[in-house]
Amino acid sequence: MKMLNPQRRARLERRMVGSTNRWRFPSKPFSGDLLGLSQRCKALSVDLDEALKNPDRLCVSQIQKIFSETSKNKPVQSREADVILECLGSRWELHQPQLFQSKTLSKLYLMALAQSTKRPTKELESLLRAQLPGKIKERPPTKKMIISLKINDPVVTKVGFAMALKSLYLSQVEMNVNDVLAVLASAHVLQISSLFQRCVAVMMKGLTPSTVKSFYLAGCKYKEEQLTTACEKWLEMNLVPLVGTQIHLRKIPQELLHRVLRSPRLFTFNEFHLLKTLLLWVFLQLNPKVQTVPVQETVLAFFTSFSRKCSFLDQDTGQSLVPLFLCLRLHGIIKERRPLQVTCSVVGEETPGLCARPGFLSLLRWAWGKASLESGGDMAHVKDLTTQAVRFGLLFNQEYTTHSEVIAIYGFFFEIKGVRHDTTSYSFYMQRVRHSDVVCEHGPVSLRAERLVKYEIRAQTLVDGQWQEFRTNQITQKFGFSKPSCKSHALKIHTVGLPIYASFSFIFPMS
């Protein structure tokens, strides 16, 4: 008779998964019971394919789900901390239920648990059992564990990191615009998604000339497209009327400025205002010691000082800026000779190097030449309304009931106008006016009774952090001096947003 082996095989524990009679062995991550695993992942809101690739994620997700449900809005009992986190040269005392709301800290704790005990699974089950609903049991004493986290992100500060840890204990953490960038970086390191998204929301509502650069770069760094898009749209509206008047214009990255200049939604009072803004940006890049916004004549004198034999963009410092100036619609800069002289000093007039930049020379010569005037204003070089139209803008503020400007181009005069009908109703339109009815500087006057115009009117405003956009179709119309031909189609809108950025884009087709 054979003797029995005194060392019996350890009995496998079995665990039920889900509400059906499906069993699996916890000693192996996945024992082939895919149906049971699928049920478990579904109950924990975990993607099955990801769980198969990374079994550790299933464990962390399960623990986080249990702790988030039991610790939500639950006050921390007055007891000693379970974990000491060493980070940024400080020691932070944390409690297990709150710690598991951070994916980073959860993984660090589980790794430390596995290394500090021979039976980490039993310790973890005991920890989870204490979180089950029912009669509150006295928690057995546990050894205080120390975990360490090294952070290489220079944006993370002690204040921001402390606020991120504070969010583990409070459902809402107050933060201001000055601290939000450090809190965002800390939330990214700790992998606290809810806090990260709250920071993004605060940043989108807190865009100003002084914050748009840092918020945009943060969106690029952490791949938060929602934030970078919000920065771009905000700058499209405020580059000329707001940022272009402050020293903060210097901080705008060239890549962001290029994207904004190319946008069809860009708001500007006219093309010369946009040119002045770009010239000021270049001036501030080349004169870093200047700490205040210079007067316009100082900037213009700086660029006219360059020799016409070698324009600014033909020099080494200017060649990298060519893409920015290619975004300008120079044919719209026609009001006076001074800006055209400055433009020639920047892009060149008769320089052979202009051959590498087709379009500049022809546009400049045509812009101040006689061709358009002699042909009754026809813009022979302009075909596409979206990318080539001459733009004019009105910034309709809260104090206005009506707001209008008179514009002159190639001897034709138009009034662009906005009207408030009630607290939420507005209309925007343009109409042709006689030169004798307006006060204007010396310039050409067209005697043509009719002028064919292709135009589009657009209005944009910010409401609850989202941009509302209204626009007409692209309309071709003959403008005369008498009604109804003197007035364009009106863009009628209803909105609670202010200010309203109204843009009028048009070209004079061949007639």
Q: DSSP per residue over 237-285, as a string?
A: HHTTTTGGGSGGGGGS-HHHHHHHHH-TT---S-HHHHHHHHHHHHHHH
- Average confidence (pLDDT) over 149-164: 96
Q: Which pTM does this prediction carry?
A: 0.81
Residues whose CB is less than 8 angstroms from the CB of residue 189 and which lie 6 or more positions away in sequence, other chains included = 104, 149, 151, 153, 156
**466 confidence band (pLDDT: 50, 70, 90):** very high
DSSP track, 174-236 = ---HHHHHHHHHHHHHHT-HHHHHHHHHHHHHT--TTTHHHHHHHHHHTT-HHHHHHHHHHHH
**274 confidence band (pLDDT: 50, 70, 90):** very high
Residue from 255, 253, 258, 298 nearest 280 by CA: 298
Task: Find how far residue 146's CA is from the centre of its chain.
Answer: 39
DSSP track, 62-88 = HHHHHHHHHHTTPPPPS---SEEEEET
What is the pLDDT, as a whole number, of residue 9? 45
What is the pLDDT, as a whole number, of residue 269? 97
Return the higher-pLDDT residue of 15 and 245.
Answer: 245
Res. 157: pLDDT tops 70: yes
Name the least confident of 111-120, 281-290, 457-466.
111-120
What is the pLDDT, as a whole number, of residue 438? 81
Residues whose CB is less than 8 angstroms from the CB of residue 489 and which lie 6 or more positions away in sequence, other chains included = 429, 457, 472, 475, 477
d(CA 98, CA 72): 9
Return the higher-pLDDT residue of 348 and 491.
Answer: 491
pLDDT tens profile 162-210: 999 999 999 888 898 999 999 999 999 999 999 999 999 999 999 999 9
Residue from 196, 276, 264, 274 nearest 232 by CA: 264
Return the higher-pLDDT residue of 111 and 441.
Answer: 111
**4 confidence band (pLDDT: 50, 70, 90):** very low
Res. 21: pLDDT tops 70: no
What is the pLDDT, as a whole number, of residue 346? 64
d(CA 230, CA 447): 46
d(CA 457, CA 320): 34
Burial category of 265 from C-beta neighbours within 10 Å (exposed 0-12, middle 13-18, buried 19 and up): middle
Instruction: Give the three-state DSSP class for 56.
Output: helix
- Average confidence (pLDDT) over 386-415: 94
Residues whose CB is less than 8 angstroms from the CB of residue 231 and which lie 6 or more positions away in sequence, other chains included = 207, 212, 215, 216, 219, 256
What is the pLDDT, as a whole number, of residue 444? 81
What is the pLDDT, as a whole number, of residue 447? 84
Count H helices and E strands in the chain, helices first.
20, 14
Q: How far is CA 158 from CA 153, 364, 411, in A?
A: 12, 55, 63
Name the least confident of 119-123, 228-232, 246-250, 492-496.
119-123
Contacts 24+ apart (CB under 8 A), 222-227: 222/184, 222/185, 222/188, 224/200, 226/200, 227/200, 227/203
161 and 186 Cβ atoms separated by less than 8 Å: yes
Q: How far is CA 471 from CA 61, 437, 455, 489, 495, in A?
A: 47, 29, 11, 11, 13
Res. 452: pLDDT tops 70: yes
Residues whose CB is less than 8 angstroms from the CB of residue 431 and which lie 6 or more positions away in sequence, other chains included = 414, 415, 417, 479, 486, 487, 488
pLDDT tens profile 60-91: 555 555 555 555 445 555 568 889 999 999 99
What is the pLDDT, as a whole number, of residue 117? 64
Return the higher-pLDDT residue of 339 and 401.
Answer: 401
pLDDT tens profile 301-337: 888 777 666 778 888 888 899 999 999 988 787 554 4
Return the higher-pLDDT residue of 381 and 432.
Answer: 432
- Average confidence (pLDDT) over 443-460: 92
d(CA 297, CA 300): 5
pLDDT tens profile 215-233: 999 999 999 999 999 999 9
What is the pLDDT, as a whole number, of residue 336? 46
What is the pLDDT, as a whole number, of residue 205? 94
What is the pLDDT, as a whole number, of residue 358? 43
Q: Are strands 475-479 and 451-463 parallel, antiparallel or unpaired?
A: antiparallel
Q: How far is CA 169 from CA 67, 72, 97, in A?
A: 12, 9, 9
